[in-house]
Structure formats: structure tokens, C-alpha cells
Amino acid sequence: MVNTAFTAIVLAMPASPAAAQAVPVSSGSSTSSDTARSDSTAADDRPAKSGTTRPRRSITPYLEVQQVIDFDLAGNDPRGTNTYTAVAAGVQASVDTRNLSGTIDYRYEHRFGWGDGLADQDIHTGLARGRVGLVPDLVSLEGGLLATRARTDIRGDAPTLLIGDQSNLSQVYGLYAGPALATRVGDLDVAASYRFGYVKVKTSTDFALAAGQPRLDGYDSSTNHAAAASVGMRPGVLGVGWKLSAGYEREDTAQLDQRYDGKFVRAEVTVPVSRTLALVGSVGYEKIEASQRAPLIDAAGQPVVNSNGRYVTDPASPRLLAYDTDGLIYDGGVIWRPNRRTTLEARLGHRYGGTIFNGSFDWQIDSRSGLRIGVYDQIDSFGRGLTRGISSLPTQFTLARNPFGNAFTGCVFGATPGTGGCLNNVFQSISTANFRSRGVYALYSGRNGRWTYGLGGGYSQRRFLAPEIPGLFTLNGVEDESWSVQGNLGRRITTDSGVDFAVYGDLYRSGIAGAGDVKSGAATANYYRTLGDHLTANAAVGLFAFDTEGFETDVSGTLLLGMRYAF
């Protein structure tokens, strides 16, 4: 009876989604979200069921004009007050049917700077996630895209306003795509998946560092492949559930011919002990190797850099190990599901040569609000973390944009309250090295009448893995940290108008000797009003500040007036 009841709860609930920081499907994760299916099936990814839910489709292309004035409130910007006019084109679209679910929010903006203080610029920001059922209830195809501007070096400036002439910013593009299979063969659950990812960074090198600080290599591009397969049986058949899984992941990075190669096999059991509680455990084998070549050294003993400020690879260099592990992995823990709206999972185990802990908590508090908390521990890189982070976001997410440019570098809230993911740990800086990433994140969101709200944030620590090269600075063993928080609040005043508020805060510590802390924060308010069927006008105000230890604090106030025509 216990087994049947627990299985019924499992089947009645959506699979607990992996959040943006979850371990990749091919890494031999010690969490149950590491299955062969795609790890992005969140509660609001579930397709509309024929005859029970009306399919939803919307597409809104638009043109927009903005006039922006930025005031230097700290009095230390030689440009003083900056003014620019922005002309933008974009599209916001969403579809949610039985076999197709997706959301896209893309914006291209060209800014015309006034005077000599600001140069003209082209800016791309956007996020897309989608899933299509190629063979209903059997094979699906998933994909995602992201374009944003992000901080380059964790020690440099931390401008919260990620548009305009700001130092320490790089343009980032990321995408992933791949098929997934999930089916039942008798009493067996069979699943398999493949994911291809690509990341490209146009690195900025125009930022200042404290005296004596070493320059780090700049990121260029990477490709990664992740494949996994599993077969298992639910607890209701034999009294215990079991699963056998295997996976492989490969990443090739353009910088210094870097390579990551990881593979695992694992056996897992689930033992129900009550109607709501089960014990889980797994044991397996994993091998991970990360390597690169050395940079070319000039006559002065310094790395040779190209025109983009990136290290040039020494073609005569042998492969140098950055990380190598080979051996047994295991864990044990609990799954607690007291009802259809609540899931808690926690696991303690051995991996990466030491103790690891992973966990998640999902609570759909009611139909209007929800909470998600996650704890993670994994070997990662900027490229793998970004593509996996995109894949872990729900296909249905909210389309609200910060009027000063939503860069999608923080938390993304799902259309269903309490769902979504945070990319803060990915974008704390753009590093070329692999690292062990550990941290915690939380998301809380909901709606109540005319109000909508969201709160997210987390803590992340990265311990870098790099080869020791005589005479050169290395990140090996360096630990950096970041704390982040984000809050959004909106109210619909009338059917034609509303107001949105947002606050952001971050703290960064690089772990490099002599480098100071970096703090940043921002607050914005935006009023909008529709004028007829196609026009929307808005007025916004923002306060932005960041402080880099050893440099002057930067504080600016920004005013914006805009007009949008939606087709």
C-alpha cells in the first residue's frame, strides 16, 4: 500500500525540474533530476491537453523610440551628463499547445549618442526557449537562445545598467538544441537525450584594474555535446524503484585549445518508507579530465596576446592537465512529497574526491504563488554552465522587461508562480578556466489581483582548476564568491496603465591576492500607458551605483521617455 501510494504521488506530479544551476544531464549528478530526459521540463512547460486547456498563442512585433538622459551623481565621470536616442525593433511571442511550447523575447537597439561623450552602438538582448513534440509522448526537440551583455572580469566595474558605454562588459551569445526520448516499455521507463551547445563572447578589455593585478585570458567561443540514457522501473512494481543511467559530455574551447571530457555510469534505487517519504541512493563510476595547452611566451616572459587581447596558443605545447578524477561516486538521501504541491529532495555523497551535497525544494504555495530553493555542487565552465542554464529555464516565462534593458543575467521567472531559474552564478564573470561551482539559490514569485511580484537571489563559490605553468600567474586553487539579490513588483492601475518597480544588488570577491571587493546596486521605476490599440508610452527613472575597492564610487541617475508601436 505504501509503495502504491508513493508511486501515485510521483505520477501525479510533474518531475522536479532542474534549475539553472542544476548539474548537467551527462555528469553523473547525485540528484534525481539527472536523468536522460531533458532537464528543462518545469511545471509551466507542461503542454496544453487537448479538450481540457485552450491553446495559447501570441506574437507581438514592435518598434520603439526612447530618449534617455544619464546624470553623473558622483561627480567623477569626465563625460558628465550623457544623452542618447535609442531606436529599437523587437518581438515578444509565446505559444503553448499540446505539442509546441515556447517563449521568445528579443530586442535589437541602435543608440545614437549626443555629442562626443557617447558613441553610437548596436545592442542585442534576448532569450528564447522552446519545445516541440516530434512524435507525441515519445520524441521531442528542445532548444534555447540567449543574447546579453555581461561582466568580463570579476575584479572590474559592475555596472547594473548593462547598456551603453560601460567598461568591463562583453557581448555574449549562447544557444543549445537537441532531441529527447521518453517512453514506457512494459513496466520500464526508457529515456535518452542529446544536447549541443555553443557560446560566443565578444570580449571587452577596456576596464581598469588595481596596480599589480594580473591580466587574465579572454573568452572566445566553445562548443559542447552532452548525451545520456537511462532505463528504470517505478516503486509500485517491485516494491522499490531502480534506474540504470549513463552519460557523456565533451566541451572544446577555442582559448588555448581547452578540452573537457566527462563520462559516468550509475545505478540508483528508490525505497518508499511511507506514503510521502522515500529513501534514495546511488553508486557509480565517473571519469573527468580537463586539459589545455600553454600560451605562447614572448622574450620578456609574458604571454603573447592577439588584437582582441586573448592569449595566443603555443602550438608546440603538450596538453597540460587542469583537472583529472577517476573513481567511485555514491550518495544517499531522501525524497519527501507530502502533497502534489510540495517536493523536497536532499542527498549527501562522495564525488570529486570529497563530500558533496545537493538538494532542491519546490513548493507551489497556492494557485497564485510558489517557492523554489536549490543547492548545487558541480565541475563546470562558463560555456557548459550557460547552455545548461538556458536549457533549465521553463519554456513559458514572463515577458516583463526593465525599461533600461533587461539583460537576462539574473533571475528569470516562469509563467507559473515559483518556477524559473537564476543565471547569476553563470554571469558573475566570464572565465576561461574550469572550476568547481558550489552554491544556493532561491526564487519566490506570484500574483495577487492587480499585483505581480518576484524575488530571487543566491550565493555562488567557484574554485578554479588550471594547470601550473612556471613563471605565469595561474587561477588554480583561487576561490571567488558572489552574492546576488533581485526583486520585481508590478501593479496594473487600470486596464490601460500600470507601474513596475525593480531592485538589484550584488557583491563580488575575486579571491586573487590584492583585489578588492566589488559592490553594485540599482533601483528602477517605470510607468506605462497604452494609447489606443497599438501605441504604448512609458516614463522611467533609475538609480545605479557600483563601487570597486580602490577606485571612486560610480553613481548615476537616469531618466527615460519612450514610445512603442506594436503591430
CA distances to 11, 140, 272 from 180, in Å: 19, 5, 28
Report how far residue 482's alpha carbon sits from residue 473's, in angstroms, rounded to the nearest whole number: 22
> Can you tell me which residue has the cell 514506457?
184
Please report the pLDDT score of residue 400 as a whole number. Answer: 63
Among 228-237, 357-366, 398-407, 550-559, the minimum mean pLDDT is found in 398-407
Please report the pLDDT score of residue 467 as a whole number. Answer: 94
Please report the pLDDT score of residue 461 as a whole number. Answer: 96
User: What are 360's three cell numbers?
Assistant: 532542491
Q: List, in sequence order, the alpha helices (H) in 290-381.
A: none
Q: For the segment 277-329, what is each residue's pLDDT rounded down to a tens digit?
A: 999 999 999 999 999 999 999 988 889 988 888 899 999 999 999 999 999 99
Please report the pLDDT score of residue 489 as a whole number. Answer: 94
State the pLDDT confidence band at 1, using cuts at 50, 70 and 90: low
Count of domains observed in the chain: 1
Please report the pLDDT score of residue 97 as a whole number. Answer: 92
Give a yes or no: residue 163 inside a domain. yes
Residue 237 is given by DSSP the state H
CA distances to 418, 484, 544, 545 from 503, in Å: 19, 11, 10, 12
State the pLDDT confidence band at 451, using cuts at 50, 70 and 90: very high
Element (H, E) at 20: none
Task: Answer yes or no: is pLDDT of 513 > 70.
Answer: yes
Please report the pLDDT score of residue 45 as a whole number. Answer: 47
Q: For the segment 458-479, what is each residue's pLDDT rounded down to a tens digit?
A: 999 999 999 998 888 899 999 9
Mean pLDDT score of the chain: 86
What is the 3-class SS of 87-135, one letter each residue? EEEEEEEEEECCCEEEEEEEEEEEEEECCCCCCCEEEEEEEEEEEEEEE
Higher pLDDT, 214 or 386: 386
Give a yes or no: residue 399 inside a domain. yes
Among 50-59, 77-86, 275-284, 367-376, the minimum mean pLDDT is found in 50-59
- Which among 217, 215, 476 is positioned nearest to 323, based on CA atoms? 476
Give a yes or no: residue 23 inside a domain. yes
Report how far residue 103's alpha carbon sits from residue 109's, in angstroms, rounded to the nearest whole number: 20
User: What are 92's three cell numbers?
Assistant: 515578444
For the chain, the distance separating the N- and C-terminal CA atoms, rounded to the nearest angstrom, is 57
Task: Answer yes or no: is pLDDT of 401 > 80.
Answer: no
Please report the pLDDT score of residue 524 as a whole number. Answer: 94
- Which among 255, 420, 389 is positioned nearest to 322, based on CA atoms? 255
Report how far residue 384's alpha carbon sits from residue 77's, in angstroms, rounded to the nearest whole number: 37
State the pLDDT confidence band at 553, using cuts at 50, 70 and 90: confident
Q: For the segment 413-424, what is each residue's pLDDT rounded down to a tens digit?
A: 998 998 998 998
Give a yes or no: residue 213 inside a domain. no
Report how far residue 453's alpha carbon sits from residue 445's, in angstroms, rounded to the nearest whole number: 6
Compute CA 520 distance to the chain's CA centroid, rounded to the nearest angstrom.
19
Please report the pLDDT score of residue 337 as a whole number. Answer: 97
CB 131 within 8 A of CB 141: yes
Please report the pLDDT score of residue 17 as a whole number. Answer: 34
**Residue 448 buriedness (CB in 10 A; 0-12 / 13-18 / 19+):** exposed
User: What are 528's three cell numbers?
Assistant: 506605462
Task: Answer yes or no: is pLDDT of 4 > 70.
Answer: no
> Can you tell me which residue has the cell 622574450?
299
Give a yes or no: residue 211 inside a domain. no
Compute CA 195 distance to the chain's CA centroid, rounded to the nearest angstrom.
16
Q: What single-letter amino acid sits at 218?
A: G
Instruction: Spell out the residues 6+ positions from residue 150 whose beta carbon is closer than 8 angstroms to its own.
Output: 162, 169, 170, 172, 407, 409, 427, 430
* pLDDT above 90 as % of the chain: 64
Helix, strand, coil in percent for the chain, rounding step 5: 5, 60, 35
Report how far residue 119's alpha carbon sits from residue 122's, in angstroms, rounded to the nearest whole number: 10
CA distances to 299, 303, 312, 467, 474 from 471, in Å: 13, 10, 16, 12, 9
Q: What are phi and psi of 12, to 5 degrees?
A: -75, -20
User: What are 556's three cell numbers?
Assistant: 548615476
Give a yes or no: residue 67 inside a domain. yes
> Can you tell me which residue has the cell 548525451?
227
Report how far residue 90's alpha carbon sits from residue 80's, in angstroms, rounded to the nearest whole number: 31
CB 521 within 8 A of CB 506: yes
CB 240 within 8 A of CB 270: yes
* pLDDT above 70 as % of the chain: 86
Compute CA 309 distance to the chain's CA centroid, rounded to the nearest angstrom.
26
Please report the pLDDT score of residue 78 as a whole number. Answer: 66
Please report the pLDDT score of residue 29 as a whole number. Answer: 39
- Bridge pairing between strands 221-233 and 241-253: antiparallel
Q: What are phi and psi of 194, to 5 degrees?
A: -140, 140
* CATH number of the domain to which 117 belongs: 2.40.170
Mean pLDDT of 537-552: 90
Task: Answer yes or no: is pLDDT of 126 > 80.
Answer: yes
Compute CA 532 distance to the chain's CA centroid, rounded to the nearest angstrom.
37
Task: Answer yes or no: is pLDDT of 385 > 70.
Answer: yes
Task: Answer yes or no: is pLDDT of 24 > 50.
Answer: no
Among 157-166, 197-206, 356-365, 382-391, the minimum mean pLDDT is found in 157-166
Rg (CA), the chain: 24
Q: What is the largest CA-CA distance in the chain?
A: 76
Task: Answer yes or no: is pLDDT of 40 > 50.
Answer: no
State the pLDDT confidence band at 47, using cuts at 50, 70 and 90: very low
Please report the pLDDT score of residue 237 as a whole number. Answer: 84
Q: List, in sequence order, the alpha helices (H) in 178-250.
A: 235-238
Give a yes or no: residue 212 inside a domain. no
CB 374 within 8 A of CB 113: no
CA distances to 205, 290, 335, 349, 440 from 266, in Å: 43, 21, 19, 13, 25
CB 314 within 8 A of CB 305: no
Please report the pLDDT score of residue 342 as a whole number. Answer: 96
Report how far residue 200's alpha carbon sits from residue 172's, in angstroms, rounded to the nearest whole number: 6
Q: What is the span of the domain harbouring residue 158?
A: 2-205+219-566
Give a yes or no: residue 419 inside a domain. yes
Please report the pLDDT score of residue 37 as a whole number. Answer: 32
Instruction: Spell out the residues 6+ positions from residue 52 whose beta carbon is closer than 8 angstroms to its own.
Output: none
CB 381 within 8 A of CB 251: yes
State the pLDDT confidence band at 266, using cuts at 50, 70 and 90: very high
**What are the DSSP calls for 28-94, one per residue?**
--SSTT--SS-TT--GGGSPPPTTTS--EEEEEEEEEEEEEEEEESSS--TT-SEEEEEEEEEEEEE
Report how far residue 252's alpha carbon sits from residue 196's, in angstroms, rounded to the nearest whole number: 12
